[in-house]
Amino acid sequence: MLEIKNLVSGYDSIPVIKDINLKITEGEICSIIGPNGSGKTTLIKVITKILPIWKGETFFENKNMSSIKINELAKKIAVVSHGQEYAFNMTVEDFVLLGRIPYRQKFQFWETKKDEQIITESMELTETTVFRNKFMNELSEGEKQLICIAQALTQEPKLLILDEPTAHLDINHQVKILNLIKKLNQKNGLTVIMVLHDLNLASEYCNKLILFSKGGLYKTGTPEEVLTGQIIEEVYNTKVLVKESPLSSKPYVFVIPTS
């Protein structure tokens, strides 16, 4: 579905990610992990055309992304960003409706029956229908994150990209959001890429991990292949103990405190 070849990009003439080669297969649920400043969010910004490519190429469904117009790309790829800005005086329903903008025709001023149907389905999937007539500033951070996912789903994407979807959320909302993402992946066939800092959540919910270190790809593979004690200590410079989860058999990382 997504292929990245020899990618280089960054900010203000300073390269942040260098020589990235990566393939994402349709139906995968992947997590980009790595220390702060290692290039995770920069990669997301390049994929979604927020940042320019300095060198290399990106392909979506075997088509060079440089030739895909933003409006068309928004019908295939949806992004939920960490720290997204909200219009506080906007109702939840109006906010979710913004996801249909790529489908608007010239001189179309009102949503179509199809728009209304997709909005209803997206809010039902995310269990946010109860918030429909509330204003965005009346919601908790966890509720806002679910609303943002509902908005993304109205784009009818094939690929969903989430940048730190569980940041600043309590464990209840973290699990609720990740269970929803897993459900969308398994039942709707949605391909998912998300940036996560919690290695144990990444291990539990993803079948592919992409580990960044100092702007480069350090290791890509299954949680079992990536989350070893040696690799984590080398990349994060932190002593850990990795054991098999008794419930899922996935790797579980324990931090070893130092005196």
Residue found under tokens 């979506």: 60
Kindly report, residue by residue over 122-147, the tens digit of the pLDDT: 999 999 999 999 999 899 888 999 99
Domains, the chain, ordered by start: 2-227 (3.40.50.300)
pLDDT higher than threshold 90 for residue 258: no
Model confidence at 17, pLDDT cuts 50, 70, 90, reads very high
Tally Cβ neighbours within 10 Å of residue 101: 11
- If DSSP codes are grouped into helix, strand and coil, which group holds residue 145? helix
Query: Cβ contacts of residue 46 below 8 Å, gap of 6+?
Result: 7, 9, 17, 52, 53, 58
Please give the residue that has the higher pLDDT: either 104 or 158: 158
Beta strands in the chain (DSSP E): 2-11, 14-24, 29-33, 55-60, 63-64, 77-80, 159-163, 191-195, 208-213, 216-221, 240-244, 251-255
pLDDT higher than threshold 70 for residue 109: no
pLDDT higher than threshold 70 for residue 110: no
Amino acid at 220: T
- Residue 205 has a pLDDT of 96
How far is residue 72's CA from residue 173's CA, in Å, rounded to a whole number? 32
Q: What are phi and psi of 155, to 5 degrees?
A: -75, -5
pLDDT higher than threshold 70 for residue 84: no
Model confidence at 167, pLDDT cuts 50, 70, 90, reads confident
Query: Cβ contacts of residue 223 below 8 Å, gap of 6+?
Result: 202, 203, 206, 207, 209, 250, 251
Model confidence at 107, pLDDT cuts 50, 70, 90, reads low
pLDDT higher than threshold 80 for residue 106: no
- Residue 111 has a pLDDT of 73
How far is residue 228's CA from residue 144's CA, in Å, rounded to a whole number? 34
Model confidence at 220, pLDDT cuts 50, 70, 90, reads very high
Across residues 188-203, what is the average pLDDT? Answer: 95
- Residue 89 has a pLDDT of 78
How far is residue 203's CA from residue 211's CA, in Å, rounded to a whole number? 12
Quote the percentage of the chain above a pLDDT of 90: 79
Across residues 45-56, what is the average pLDDT? Answer: 93
Q: What is the dihedral of CA 168, 141, 27, 235, to 10 degrees?
A: -10
